[in-house]
Chain A
Amino acid sequence: MAPFSEDDIANAYAHYGVQLQGVEAAENTPRIEDIILAVLETPPPGRFVSMLPTLILKNHEKIDFNYIKSKTNAQTSSKLGYILDVSISCSQEIRKLRDQQELQQTLRSAISNLAPSPLPIVWVPEKLKIFYRPEDFTPQEPHEKKWCISTKYDLETFIRHAREYIRDA
């Protein structure tokens, strides 16, 4: 997978319905799975991590989770499990869909075989880490504790960000 710049990722988010940085969706957008992998590996500063559940919920039908899982390593695999788990929680709070059961089943199925990391993982943009102390990265939220990950986002933030893009009717 070719590395993507912050703009590449922002363009792709816009293409897949999550406009984050006022950029227009570009042509030749990379496949969504590769964008998700890029954010799992090295998220740029910005709302890329906190908007990942929204990206997943909006595009779950077209995402090949097996492809993503085949490309993950121990760390990104745990991050994927964490973000899918968070996505399920977001969907429970936000979506009132006829196919909600199907959606959650898809996500639960994708989580299978994914395991929490044995060592704590800090999933925060590299450039932002200097604003924290090591002790700040202790997993806090139930999802973080379950997957042994620190994102510095709480579930309410993921839900709030998703609500900005998803409306129940």
Chain B
Amino acid sequence: MHASIFVMHETVQSQNLIELFHRLDKRILTRFYSFKQPAHKFDLIAIGGTALGLLGLKKQSKDIDLFLELTSVSKICGKENATEFAQRLIRFIQEHFDGSEGMGADVSYDGLKSWNLLDFEIRKTYLQEEFLCFNLGTLNLVDICITKLVRYNVDDIADMLRIFSQEKPSIPELASRFQAYLTRLKNPKQIGLVTQNYERMKDALTRILHS
């Protein structure tokens, strides 16, 4: 016999996000580093809805999406290969967010879903909040919009609207970042689709700028 239960899907409210990162910080210090903290911190960049949550543009976050900057890892990995260290660190972070905190985490060091960002200079802003083991930042808002151009679903567009209500980039800035990202698409067959969606987003921004 089957029974069905409705569960209250746990979402983390934005104000609790920082607290989640502090718990992660302590866990990395005690378990990953075994209290032998390196002199340098690594850079953890929140992307997508997580970034919007940290910036107060979204009230809740369903998952935690993070980008670990490999260049920052190379300063702390010692004799270990930076990529292997990053993979080990990512596994640790993902195991930390195993659902017991109410959500999972998607962490990568080489790209964001459809985008290959290895050796790519992403634009980011560091949060003022201090952590022991890492610097926490958010991906630039314009860059967040561009990374959403592959999927471009209603939720992505709602996020774009939130972003454009906060920050109104110029069209040349948008175009410049789009061109930079376009070379980073993992699947070149998506260039047409992404360009089409970019034109739609640009038109929307143009209307917002003139309203």
Contact = CB atoms under 8 A, between A and B. Distances in A.
A, B co-complexed: yes
Name the interface size band of chain A: 35 or more
Contact of A131 (B7, B59, B157): B157
A56 to B, nearest CB: 12
A72 B154 CA distance: 25
Contacts, number: 82
Given A20-B60, A22-B14, A47-B155, A130 B4 contact: no
Contacts of A47: 155
A95 B4 contact: yes
Interface of B: 1-9, 11-14, 59-60, 62, 153-155, 157-158, 160-161, 200-201, 203-204, 207-208
Given A17-B8, A128-B154, 20 more contacts: A17-B6, A19-B8, A19-B11, A21-B59, A21-B60, A22-B11, A22-B14, A50-B155, A95-B4, A97-B3, A128-B161, A131-B157, A131-B160, A136-B200, A151-B154, A152-B153, A166-B7, A167-B4, A167-B5, A168-B4
A82 to B, nearest CB: 15
Majority secondary structure of chain B interface residues (helix, strand, loop or mixed): mixed
A130 B208 CA distance: 9
Contact of B4 (A17, A136, A166): A166
A167 to B, nearest CB: 5
Given A21-B60, A131-B200, A165 B4 contact: no
Contacts of B8: 17, 19, 165
